[in-house]
């Protein structure tokens, strides 16, 4: 049995062999490579394209995230999944979830917008953040308005690194409104690799933030776990 | 028969008794393709625009303002300013039936007084039959979609008591047998999507309670006095603890497994979500709609995930 997560940008396959997690990640357009030689009855699918790929059973990415996070951190209370198109907060204890998918504020798309503005790679933002000496106050997380605020801060004498740190803090504040009371939070999704973002979240939330060893495969693993 | 537009629950007993034909201006909205220009809540924005442009043809309008919706109060005034004879109707927040009675009397004068007192009893009987429809769907005898369409149409009884009576005769021949698995209460204002109940059912969520339409069917009275005593307990107009107390009993009776709280963009009822979550001891899914049409994919995803959650808890 495999867990197959086919999302909007990447596809992931997870298998458990002798108690060990084996996984593979590829671009969504290559998803077929992941199921070569595997029958439909051996696939539990999840992700945006879960209904379009062969599967024995499918499960939403919300439920898959719960089961996947539970695998790494038994007793998990809150899961925050910051993806490219949306951000999901799953309150496991209360059986509740909030999804922000109406606007890019508070999703990975906003950070991408900022990276584009500075003509840098998204992956560089965390490193630049760590060089900031001061953190300017940026209030807007709407891509369009944030740019004019960033320009004002640059004109006021803040460095690029500092403005990026300010952006991470604005982003973390925005996300914090969605997060319920809990001791610990499990963070998954693409932005998990951005250390600047994570340190801003730690600061703003004042909570313990746990990150799974392989944050990208949590949902594929969760689909597999759900079926069991 | 003059056609009397209503913006929310106004005792249809009284409108029929005064010789009017009630017409709920919300009827056209879920199927509407309009993108209103100046909008907060799409419900009021769309009927306001359609009334002002005379795309909904009525002779006069009753706006439910007090205890219900301030967006309607403002949009209702815009309709009034466009030249539609308009009356503003206020429910008592404290449930004072004397106040309710005085409101009904002033509504009577607006409508030209009671001419057909027999309508009260006729409607009372029809609402009893409507309650049976509600019971049948609680027991899985008819589909949630069909029950909802009947219950929600009780606000104006389709403007025609005979037509409504005929509509009560529904059967769902191919209802699937898996009913009773995930029993859902749908609370808040009704969803703005025209296919919501059918979508929920296709995802194995069986809606066994529709909060607002149930208010439409349960309030009635054999004369003005009885109507005043009964409608003053219209839960949406009363303080939250009153409404929550009522909900708690209803949800227990209907043995629900989970609650879906539908909220409408820019509607003050959204603010109640926090309290409802605190007070109702069930898994709760909150969704928010904005413009009418089909249930969007993102909402379907939430419904599906909610089903997965309930199924495992
Ligand atoms: S959804 Fe809310 S704002 Fe809109 S008409 Fe109903 S009560 Fe008013």
| Domain assignment present for B20 | no
pLDDT confidence of residue A192 = 83
| Cβ(B71) – ligand 1 distance below 6 Å | yes
pLDDT digits (tens, 9 = 90+) for A83-106: 777 888 998 887 778 887 666 667
Cβ of A59 under 8 Å from any chain B Cβ?
yes
Do A192 and A130 have their domain in common?
yes
Do A25 and A40 have their domain in common?
yes
Average pLDDT, integer, range A53-74: 95
| Cβ(B189) – ligand 1 distance below 6 Å | yes
| Domain assignment present for B33 | no
In percent, how much of chain B has pLDDT > 70? 96
| Domain assignment present for A69 | no
| Domain assignment present for B66 | no
| Domain assignment present for B85 | no
For the four alpha carbons of B208, B296, B268 and B63, in that order, the dihedral sign comes to negative
| Domain assignment present for A149 | yes
| Domain assignment present for B263 | yes
Cα(B308)–Cα(A61) distance, integer angstroms: 11
pLDDT digits (tens, 9 = 90+) for B35-57: 888 789 999 999 999 999 999 99
The yes/no answer to whether this complex scores an ipTM above 0.85 is no
pLDDT digits (tens, 9 = 90+) for B224-245: 999 999 999 999 999 999 999 9
User: Nearest CA to CA, how far is A53 from chain B (Å)?
Assistant: 17
Is residue B179's pLDDT more than 70? no
Instruction: Please provide the average confidence, as pLDDT, over all residues in chain B.
Output: 93
pLDDT digits (tens, 9 = 90+) for B182-195: 999 999 999 999 99
Average pLDDT, integer, range B12-32: 96
Do A34 and A84 have their domain in common?
no
Do A35 and A95 have their domain in common?
no
Average pLDDT, integer, range B243-270: 96
Please count the structural domains in chain B. 1
CB B120 within 8 A of CB B222: yes
Q: What is the CATH number of the domain that holds A79?
A: 3.30.420.40
DSSP letters of chain B?
A: --EEEESS---HHHHHHTT-EEEETTTTSTT-----SS-SSHHHHHHHHHHHTTSS--SEEEEEEETT-HHHHHHHHHHHHTT--EEEEE--TT--HHHHHHHHHHHHHHHT--S-THHHHHHHHHHHHHHHHHHHHHTTSS-HHHHHHHHHGGGTGGG-HHHHHHHT----TT--TTTTSSEEEEEESPPSBTTHHHHHHHTT-EEEEEHHHHHHHH---SSHHHHHHHHTT-GGGS-HHHHHHHHHHHHHHTT-SEEEEEEETT-GGGGGHHHHHHH--S-EEEEEE-S-BSPPHHHHHHHHHHHHHHHH-
pLDDT band at residue B177 using 50, 70 and 90 as cut-offs = very low
Do A56 and A80 have their domain in common?
no
pLDDT confidence of residue B173 = 59
Is residue B151's pLDDT more than 50? yes
| Domain assignment present for B185 | yes
pLDDT band at residue A146 using 50, 70 and 90 as cut-offs = confident
Identify the residue whose C-alpha is closest to ligand 1 atom 7. B69
**Of A116 and B4, more confident:** B4
Do A103 and A28 have their domain in common?
no
Q: What is the CATH number of the domain that holds B202?
A: 3.40.50.11900
pLDDT confidence of residue A101 = 67
Average pLDDT, integer, range B257-283: 94
Is residue A25's pLDDT more than 50? yes
Do A96 and A1 have their domain in common?
no
What is the reported pTM?
0.88
Average pLDDT, integer, range A43-60: 95
Calculate the CA A12 to chain-centre distance.
15
| Cβ(B26) – ligand 1 distance below 6 Å | no
Strand partners, A44: A3, A57
pLDDT band at residue B174 using 50, 70 and 90 as cut-offs = low
Please count the structural domains in chain A. 2
Do A117 and A163 have their domain in common?
yes
Is residue B176's pLDDT more than 90? no
Do A90 and A198 have their domain in common?
yes
Which residues make Cβ contacts (< 8 Å) with residue B297, sequence separation at least 6?
none
Determine the structural domain holding residue B231 and report its residue range: 175-312
| Domain assignment present for A68 | no
Determine the structural domain holding residue A164 and report its residue range: 74-211
User: Nearest CA to CA, how far is B143 from chain A (Å)?
Assistant: 25
pLDDT band at residue A122 using 50, 70 and 90 as cut-offs = confident
| Domain assignment present for B139 | no
**Pocket residue to mutate for ligand 1, from B27, B30, B41, most atoms within 8 A of Cβ:** B41
| Cβ(B269) – ligand 1 distance below 6 Å | yes
A and B: number of Cβ contacts within 8 A: 35
pLDDT confidence of residue B311 = 83
Instruction: Please provide the average confidence, as pLDDT, over all residues in chain A.
Output: 90
Do A103 and A22 have their domain in common?
no
| Domain assignment present for B87 | no
pLDDT confidence of residue A97 = 82
Do A222 and A197 have their domain in common?
no
Do A202 and A173 have their domain in common?
yes
């Amino acid at each position: 049995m495999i867990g197959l997560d086919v999302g909007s940008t990447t596809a992931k396959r997870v298998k458990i062999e002798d108690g060990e997690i084996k996984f593979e990640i590829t671009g969504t357009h290559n998803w077929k490579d992941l199921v070569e030689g595997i029958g439909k009855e051996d696939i539990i699918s999840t992700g945006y394209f879960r209904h379009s790929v062969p599967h024995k059973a499918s499960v939403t990415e919300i439920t898959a995230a719960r089961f996947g996070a539970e695998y790494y951190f038994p007793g998990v209370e809150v899961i925050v999944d910051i993806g490219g198109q949306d951000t999901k907060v799953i309150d496991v204890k209360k059986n509740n979830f909030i999804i922000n998918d109406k606007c890019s504020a508070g999703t990975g798309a906003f950070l991408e917008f900022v990276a584009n503005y500075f003509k840098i790679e998204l992956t560089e933002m965390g490193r630049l953040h760590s060089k900031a000496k001061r953190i300017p106050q940026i209030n807007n997380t709407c891509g369009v308005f944030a740019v004019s605020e960033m320009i004002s801060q640059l004109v006021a004498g803040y460095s690029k690194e500092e403005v990026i740190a300010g952006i991470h803090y604005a982003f973390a504040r925005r996300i914090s409104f969605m997060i319920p009371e809990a001791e610990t939070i499990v963070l998954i999704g693409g932005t998990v690799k951005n250390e600047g973002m994570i340190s801003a979240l730690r600061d703003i939330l004042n909570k313990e933030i746990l990150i799974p060893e392989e944050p990208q495969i949590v949902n594929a693993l969760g689909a597999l776990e759900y079926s069991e | 028969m003059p056609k009397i537009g209503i913006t929310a629950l106004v005792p249809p007993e009284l409108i029929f008794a005064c010789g009017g034909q009630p017409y709920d201006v919300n009827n056209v909205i879920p199927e509407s393709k309009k993108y209103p220009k100046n909008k907060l809540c799409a419900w009021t924005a769309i009927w306001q625009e359609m009334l002002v442009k005379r795309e909904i043809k009525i002779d006069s309008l009753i706006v439910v303002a007090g205890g219900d919706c301030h967006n309607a109060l403002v949009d209702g005034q815009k309709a009034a300013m466009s030249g539609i004879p308009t009356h503003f109707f206020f429910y008592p927040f404290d449930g004072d039936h004397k106040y309710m009675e005085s409101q009904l009397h002033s509504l009577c004068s607006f409508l030209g007084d009671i001419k057909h007192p027999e309508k009260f009893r006729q409607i009372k009987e029809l609402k009893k039959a409507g309650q049976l429809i509600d019971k049948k769907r609680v027991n899985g005898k008819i589909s949630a979609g069909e029950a909802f369409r009947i219950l929600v149409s009780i606000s104006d009884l389709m403007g025609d008591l005979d037509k409504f009576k005929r509509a009560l005769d529904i059967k769902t021949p191919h209802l699937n047998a898996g009913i009773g698995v995930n029993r859902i209460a749908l609370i808040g204002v009704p969803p703005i999507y025209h296919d919501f109940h059918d979508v929920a059912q296709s995802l194995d969520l069986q809606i066994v309670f529709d909060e607002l339409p149930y208010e439409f069917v349960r309030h009635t009275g054999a004369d003005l006095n009885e109507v005043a005593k009964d409608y003053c307990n219209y839960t949406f107009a009363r303080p939250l603890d009153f409404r929550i107390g009522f909900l708690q009993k209803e949800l227990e009776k209907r043995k629900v497994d989970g609650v879906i709280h539908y909220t409408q963009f820019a509607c003050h009822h959204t603010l109640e979500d926090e309290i409802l979550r605190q007070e109702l001891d069930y898994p709760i899914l909150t969704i928010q709609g904005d413009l009418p049409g089909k249930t969007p994919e993102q909402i379907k995803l939430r419904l599906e995930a909610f089903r997965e959650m309930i199924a495992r808890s």
